[in-house]
């Protein structure tokens, strides 16, 4: 077997193992939460007989191992269970919510990824000069401020003072694309500012590392311009670490939007998760947690595969 296929197979197997471990941690963590789910549903006035009947119908009296494999088997078959608070199918409820979260993450990525790469290349072009220092200062400032604080500041200045965009990001299927983009404008700004610094600084660091190579010096001695050297030689050879950090931040855009969705009352998975955590709806928490884990591990797996394929020493081991 070619070494590159062996490495990819190892990464895929490792990803599956990590997802299995994450499912164990999610299920075990929710089971160790204090309180009684049945008591939470029926209230403090419930009789012991009613509590016992509800625990039996929910399978809470079964051994934890049996309940885990029953839950995991259902998840693999697309059955995420039923919400305890309203009796609705979780997969059906999560369908539109997941679509909304991916919609928000997609537009944040469309803006942040090209902008981060452009700013990284610009910082390299003007290394240790005022553009480089200004870009680094601004991005480090935004990454040091919590998302909710950035969100509230932008709501005050952009929504309340300027009146440009709505402070509440409510969208639905009947809205046009333009109306949806107008509604999510401020959340997209927040997410862009949060993830921009990571990607920009990694792009800058990766290209500067490549710029110290001998073939870059040879290109300079041939009289090639700096912009051409960066575009033709440095950037293609720095693509692996850049792809890694981009995928990590894309994973954050999908998984880490919980705070942003709560701040802007956005109808996504993060808001859905927070609502049901407060209600101790364990099946919903488990389903959301496992979906978030699968997205995060999947995007990291894609980053590993792209890095392997982009490495010429692995493609041509001889």
Q: Domains of the chain by range and CATH? A: 95-281 (1.10.3720.10)
Cα Rg for the chain, rounded, in angstroms?
24
CB 165 within 8 A of CB 158: yes
What percent of the chain is predicted at pLDDT more than 70? 84
CB 276 within 8 A of CB 210: no
What is the overall mean pLDDT for the chain? 78
Whole-prediction pTM value?
A: 0.75
- Start-end of H helices in 145-238: 147-154, 177-183, 185-210, 214-221, 226-229, 235-237
> What average pLDDT does the segment 225-249 reach?
72
| Gap between the Cα atoms of 15 and 182, Å rounded | 37
| Gap between the Cα atoms of 274 and 217, Å rounded | 54
> What average pLDDT does the segment 274-296 reach?
80
Q: Which two tokens stand for residue 216?
A: 């870059």
Report the pLDDT value the prediction gives residue 82, as an integer from 0 to 100: 75
Residue 3 has pLDDT above 60, yes or no: yes
Q: Which residue has the higher pLDDT, 7 or 37?
A: 7
| Gap between the Cα atoms of 260 and 110, Å rounded | 18
pLDDT digits (tens, 9 = 90+) for 24-58: 888 877 777 666 666 666 666 667 777 677 677 66
> What average pLDDT does the segment 154-180 reach?
81
pLDDT band at 313 (very low <50, low <70, confident <90, very high): low
Residue 318 has pLDDT above 60, yes or no: no
Report the pLDDT value the prediction gives residue 57, as an integer from 0 to 100: 66
């Amino acid at each position: 077997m070619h070494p590159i296929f062996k490495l990819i197979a190892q990464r895929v197997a490792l990803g599956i193992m990590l997802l299995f471990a994450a499912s164990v941690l999610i299920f075990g963590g929710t089971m160790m939460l204090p309180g009684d789910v049945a008591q939470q549903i029926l209230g403090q006035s419930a009789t012991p007989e009613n509590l016992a009947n509800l625990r039996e119908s929910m399978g809470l009296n079964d051994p934890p191992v049996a309940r885990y494999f029953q839950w995991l088997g259902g998840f693999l078959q697309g059955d995420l269970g039923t919400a305890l608070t309203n009796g609705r199918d979780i997969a059906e409820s999560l369908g539109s919510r997941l679509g909304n979260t991916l919609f928000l993450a997609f537009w944040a990525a469309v803006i942040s990824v090209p902008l981060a790469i452009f700013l990284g290349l610009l910082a390299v072009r003007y290394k240790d000069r005022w553009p480089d220092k200004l870009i680094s200062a601004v991005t480090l400032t935004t990454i040091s401020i919590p998302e909710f604080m950035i969100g509230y500041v932008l709501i005050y200045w952009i929504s309340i003072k300027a009146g440009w965009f709505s402070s509440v990001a409510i969208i639905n299927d009947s809205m046009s694309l333009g109306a949806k983009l107008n509604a999510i404008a401020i959340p997209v700004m927040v997410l862009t500012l949060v993830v921009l610094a990571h990607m920009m600084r990694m792009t800058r660091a990766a290209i500067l590392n490549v710029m110290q190579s001998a073939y870059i010096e040879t290109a300079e001695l041939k009289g090639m311009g700096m912009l051409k050297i960066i575009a033709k030689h440095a950037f293609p050879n720095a693509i692996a670490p850049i792809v890694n950090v981009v995928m990590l931040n894309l994973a954050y855009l999908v998984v880490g939007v919980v705070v942003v969705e709560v701040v802007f009352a956005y109808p996504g998975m993060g808001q859905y998760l927070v609502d049901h955590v407060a209600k101790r709806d364990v099946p919903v928490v488990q389903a959301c947690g496992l979906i978030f884990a699968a997205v995060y591990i999947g995007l990291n797996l894609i980053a590993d595969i792209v890095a392997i394929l982009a490495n010429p020493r692995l493609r041509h081991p001889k």
